[in-house]
Amino acid sequence: MKFFVDTADVAEIRDLAASGLLDGVTTNPSLMAKAGRPMLEVISEIADIVPGPVSAEVTATDAAGMIREGKKLHAIGHGRNNNIAIKVPLTPEGLKACKAFSSEGVMVNVTLCFSAAQAILAAKAGAAFVSPFVGRLDDIGEDGMALIDDIVQIYSQYPSFQTEVLVASVRGPEHVVAAAKLGADICTVPPNILRQLFSHPLTDKGLAAFLADWAKTGQSIL
């Protein structure tokens, strides 16, 4: 499974990228608003830090507007083996824009997917990624992971579908593990959840015991 981080905080991305764990980054207008900086500037910096896909979302709601904005965003990646993925909503207009970009070899992340039927349409439109929002489904009493299971099964039946399942709206490590067990291609997670994957009390306890025993020897490796 690949890990994307869901943030527009450049400092967080730089720190996590140093771990070697990041395969890509996803952003959205809400995250950009939190960053409090010009969008194009932020996307450019992120694309320089992370060689994998960087999703940059359009804000237009009509296909023509999405295409104009997407071209502007995609231009940021020129000269870097273009790693910008244009992010569009899973609407009829969004899928028109997806088809236009995918026909030109441009990566597209189709976001706000809440049903298997929608995921089929995204794959038919040539999306590089489809982003089902598991946490938001759980919030309204539905089973987000059941949707991931359905999409993974459906996509496996059709070799012509090249769309990767990008699990989004992840609320905790349990979502990451469940998605991995189901065979999802990618999880995009907020920085704090990615760091939670490291944590276990027995790891901390064991390390403390090892260090205490080592200190008693009075030795130094250096």
What does the alpha-carbon distance between residue 210 and residue 206 come to, in Å, rounded to a whole number? 6
Q: Please state whether 123 falls in left (phi above 0), alpha (psi between -120 and 50) or beta.
A: alpha
Q: How long is the chain?
A: 222
The residue annotated as part of the active site, out of 34, 87, 96, 99, is: 87
Helix (H, G, I), strand (E, B) or coil at 18: coil
Q: Confirm whether 205 is a catalytic residue.
A: no
24-26 vs 129-132, strand pairing mode: unpaired
| One-character DSSP codes across 97-131 | HHHHHHTTT--EEEEEE-SHHHHHHHHHTT-SEEE
Other Cβ atoms closer than 10 A to 181: 12
Helical axes 173-182 vs 144-156, angle rounded to 10°:
20
Q: What is the DSSP string of 47-87?
A: HHH-SS-EEEE---SSHHHHHHHHHHHHGGGTTSS--EEEE
How far is residue 180's CA from residue 169's CA, in Å, rounded to a whole number? 15
Give the active site residues. Answer: 87
